Structure 1
């Protein structure tokens, strides 16, 4: 599975393509709010977190099997699984950081 096969990355690329860069911020927000045909945000977030958890679990299982001497598991498979889990986790942390930053910015706006 390549990084582009990651559901979180595919969703981010899809969302990036939906909004043209020449549109104003107000138009972008209105378009996103009125987009009822899209998936529920909380469902997308839950799915992305589930994928990260699954990658981390798979990585841990491969590492355990390699340590136990399972001949069907190679070191390269284990390292690749660990890196996939690491990249997915780092992407999740960056998304969380952006949400916290946006929340702080919204909360500091005068009413």
Structure 2
């Protein structure tokens, strides 16, 4: 039962695509005023915000689904279901734990980045 950690791979691909969009946007714009107003009011800025929000929501949903699945496997094992082994329960619980820890680290980085941006003097 080897499954890749889906929240990790989807979050990393979303971050890579956002990084590619960000680097493309800064090269195309000539001055900082257009970069700042384009990121807030431009269509490409709105699209990247929507894609980031949807990628973040998708990752959180996958973490939640993994935890729900792990808890249902554990419950099935506890009541004595014959098709659930202890190994599967332990692996699923560890996957859920890793997904949760990853989500917490992403949240911490986002809060830290937000605080850094808010502390920039203009």
Q: TM-score range by the shorter chain?
A: 0.7 to 0.9
Residue correspondence of structure 1 range 4-15 to structure 2 within 5 A? 6-13=6-13, 15=15
- Map 1:16-31 → 2, pairs under 5 A: 16=16, 19=19, 28=23, 30=25
TM-score normalised by structure 1 residue count? 0.76
TM-score with structure 2 length normalisation?
0.70
* CA displacement 1:77-111 (0-9 Å, x = unmatched): 00010011011111100000000100110111102
The structure with more helix, counted as a fraction of residues: 2
Residue of structure 1 equivalent to 2:114: 103
Structure 1 51/69 Cα, relative in aligned 2: closer, same or farther at 3 Å? same
Count, aligned residues: 102
Give the C-alpha shift of residue 18 in structure 1.
7.4
Q: Which has the larger radius of gyration?
A: 2
**Structure 2 gaps, min length 5:** 27-38
Cα-Cα RMSD: 2.6
| Counterpart residue number, 1:2 | 4
Q: Give 1:39 shift.
A: 6.5
